[in-house]
Amino acid sequence: MASVHEPVTGGDEARVAAEAGQHPVQVLAEVLDRAVELQPEAEAVIRACARPGETPTRVARDGGWVVGQYFLLHKQVEELPVDRSLAQLHRRARELVAYHLELLGVCLNLAFPKYRDPKLEARRLSLDGLGPPAVQLRELREELNRLLD
């Protein structure tokens, strides 16, 4: 599950890009492009966490990397200065990226618990991907791209 993607660097990138004259919609669209690019890796981590038996340690390593990438993307969205006209799109982008980040964290916690519990194990085995918010993130990215056209 090694990534072929370049890592996201820092949360200041969005702010710097906006200050350099790049339109906030463009910056937000680029962040969401990256968040969507990471979805297959996130899905792979979730599927690996849901497999019966002991979860291989490489899933923790790979999952930690994907979580870190979503964390940096979330930070970029948080730090992006937007005006009132973009407030709703910005809020929705922040929520959807946060969802991806939080769900991956929960999945990894279920796959690598401090103690085993039958209810938690049943929950782990029922994990089934990113769900509808993954589609909503792609739709929001497309909406932003339409605004740029």
Dump pLDDT digits (tens) for 122-137.
999 999 999 999 999 9
Spatial neighbors of 68 by CB under 8 A, at least 6 apart, are: 7
59-100 per-position pLDDT tens digit: 999 999 999 999 999 999 999 998 898 999 999 999 999 999
The number of beta carbons lying within 10 Å of the beta carbon of residue 66 is 24
Tell me whether residue 116 is in a domain. yes
Tell me whether residue 140 is in a domain. yes
Angstrom distance (rounded) from CA 67 to CA 70: 5
Three-state secondary structure call for residue 31: helix
Helix axes 57-79, 87-111, angle to 10 degrees: 160
Tell me whether residue 139 is in a domain. yes
Tell me whether residue 6 is in a domain. no
Angstrom distance (rounded) from CA 81 to CA 42: 27
Domain limits for position 61: 12-148
Tell me whether residue 7 is in a domain. no
Q: Indicate the pLDDT class of residue 40, thresholds 50, 70 and 90.
A: very high
Q: Indicate the pLDDT class of residue 9, thresholds 50, 70 and 90.
A: low
Count the domains in the chain.
1
Tell me whether residue 4 is in a domain. no
What is the C-alpha end-to-end distance of the chain, expressed in Å? 35
| pLDDT score for 21 | 66
Chain mean pLDDT for the chain: 89
Residues in the chain: 149
Tell me whether residue 143 is in a domain. yes
Determine the average pLDDT of the residues in 136-149.
94
Tell me whether residue 5 is in a domain. no
